[in-house]
């Protein structure tokens, strides 16, 4: 018997719901860690981020995980007495879901404060205020200094990122090239002619420009300033309060500035010594975590 189109759609939707329920991780209801567990060493603080995301998250030559965000999280953990910290690498698009289901406790990946993320997660006080949405392109293909300049272009973004939602909402004529891998793969879209421009993280793009400008002739521009913070699960007020207190202390005694200088000064960026308020973000309706 041939089913009507509405009935087929309804059946497909029902099957999708059942499939989603079937693959829900067993630890979906795992409780948030207490400070007592973290301070005793009973439980490690699990921090998620993209493995290759300079200067925020970096893989050192010996294979160890470093970078600005990881160094800041180590300093935060020391301040609040956390005995063990574990860094878990994952694609950008998986970080939000991993936080919600308890796979990780904190997102540390130059994670911008947006209204949509504040709805889904508990965002800490900002630790970085000199970055934002940037455009990266090959010399001769630009310039791309505004969202309007992306019209009709192939725009590479991290899948599920704020720039992904931003370009889909604000530049509907653009062709989105979504990458769900490392920042090197994102840059490869330009190198191999798969995209005209990359829309992403301005500070990380400065790293690419410094490393590859001579060979590839890359240019970049800041399109929209943003503030970066760490994200924890809602309801984990104890951990949120402890991280906020530690970040405030790192701002106040200059430790945060010292960590950021190590990674930002080689890029020609002078990190802010104090917090600077920035204009509110206009959140695209299609924004994703």
CA torsion 60→66→68→73, rounded to 10°? Answer: 180
pLDDT tens digit sequence for 21-63: 333 444 445 788 999 999 999 999 999 999 888 899 998 888 8
For 19, residues 6+ apart whose C-beta sits below 8 A from its C-beta are: none
List, in sequence order, the alpha helices (H) in the chain: 5-22, 35-40, 68-79, 95-100, 115-120, 162-170, 183-191, 202-216, 237-253, 255-264
pLDDT at 61: 82
Residues (pLDDT < 70) of the chain are 1-29, 212-216, 276-289
pLDDT at 59: 87
Whole-model pTM: value is 0.79
C-alpha pair distances (Å), 7 with each of 3, 11, 18, 145: 6, 6, 17, 47
Please provide the DSSP assignment of 104-167 as one string.
Answer: -SEEEEEEE--HHHHHHSEE---SEEEEEEEEEEETTT----SSGGGTTSEEEEETTSHHHHHH
Domains of the chain plus CATH, in order, are 35-129+228-267 (3.40.190.10), 131-225 (3.40.190.10)
pLDDT at 18: 37
């Amino acid at each position: 018997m041939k089913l009507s189109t509405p009935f087929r759609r309804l059946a497909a939707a029902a099957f999708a719901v059942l499939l989603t329920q079937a693959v829900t991780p067993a630890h979906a209801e795992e409780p948030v860690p207490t400070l007592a567990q973290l301070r005793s060493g009973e439980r490690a603080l699990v921090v998620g981020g993209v493995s290759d995301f300079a200067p925020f998250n970096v893989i050192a030559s010996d294979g160890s995980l470093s970078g600005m965000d990881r160094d800041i999280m180590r300093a935060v953990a020391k301040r609040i007495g956390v005995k063990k910290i574990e860094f878990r690498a994952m694609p950008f698009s998986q970080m939000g879901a991993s936080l919600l289901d308890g796979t990780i406790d904190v997102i540390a990946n130059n994670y911008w404060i947006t209204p949509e993320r504040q709805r889904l997660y508990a965002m800490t006080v900002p630790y970085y205020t000199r970055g934002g949405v940037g455009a990266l392109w090959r010399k001769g293909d630009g310039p791309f200094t505004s969202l309007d300049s992306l019209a009709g272009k192939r725009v590479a973004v991290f899948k599920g990122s704020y720039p992904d939602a931003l370009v889909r909402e604000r530049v509907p004529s653009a062709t989105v090239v979504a990458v769900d891998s490392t920042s090197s793969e994102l840059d490869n879209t330009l190198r191999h002619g798969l995209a005209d421009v990359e829309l992403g993280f301005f500070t990380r793009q400065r790293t690419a420009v410094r490393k590859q400008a001579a060979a590839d002739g890359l240019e970049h521009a800041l399109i929209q300033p943003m503030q970066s913070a760490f994200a924890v699960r809602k309801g984990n007020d104890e951990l949120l309060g402890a991280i906020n207190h530690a970040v405030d202390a790192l701002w106040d005694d200059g430790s945060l500035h010292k960590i950021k200088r190590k990674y930002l000064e080689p890029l020609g960026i002078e990190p802010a010594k104090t917090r600077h308020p920035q204009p509110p973000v206009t959140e695209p309706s299609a924004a994703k975590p």
